[in-house]
């Protein structure tokens, strides 16, 4: 006799929206970095990467399936 279990996970939509907002802020910083001197631009890009990583973690915590996760900052 085999038992099958169905794993259902609910995705926290609030977390998904928060991750999207973090990515939007990261994109704005990357856009602004193109108009700044090198030192400040690097700081903006670094912060953008941090926000993208945070968005990835928020998605993980929200229960987003692996196949649907956005790739974290490279």
pLDDT tens column, 10-35: 889 999 999 999 999 999 999 999 99
At 31-50, the pLDDT tens digits run: 999 999 999 999 999 999 99
- The pLDDT > 90 percentage for the chain reads 69
The model's pTM: 0.79
Domain ranges for the chain, please list them: 13-63
Using alpha carbons only, give the angle 22, 24, 28 rounded to the nearest 5 degrees. 115
Cα–Cα distance, 39 to 42 (Å, whole number) = 5
pLDDT at 4: 53
3-class SS string, 1-62:
CCCCCCCCCCCCHHHHHHHHHHHHHHHHHHHHHCCCCHHHHHHHHHHHHHHHHHHHHHHHHH
């Amino acid at each position: 006799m085999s038992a099958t279990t169905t794993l259902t996970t609910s995705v926290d939509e609030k977390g998904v929206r928060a991750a999207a907002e973090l990515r939007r802020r990261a994109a704005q910083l990357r856009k602004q970095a193109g108009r700044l001197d090198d030192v400040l631009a690097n700081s903006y890009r670094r912060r953008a990467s941090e926000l993208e990583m945070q968005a990835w973690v928020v998605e993980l915590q929200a229960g987003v399936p692996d196949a649907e996760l956005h790739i974290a900052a490279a």
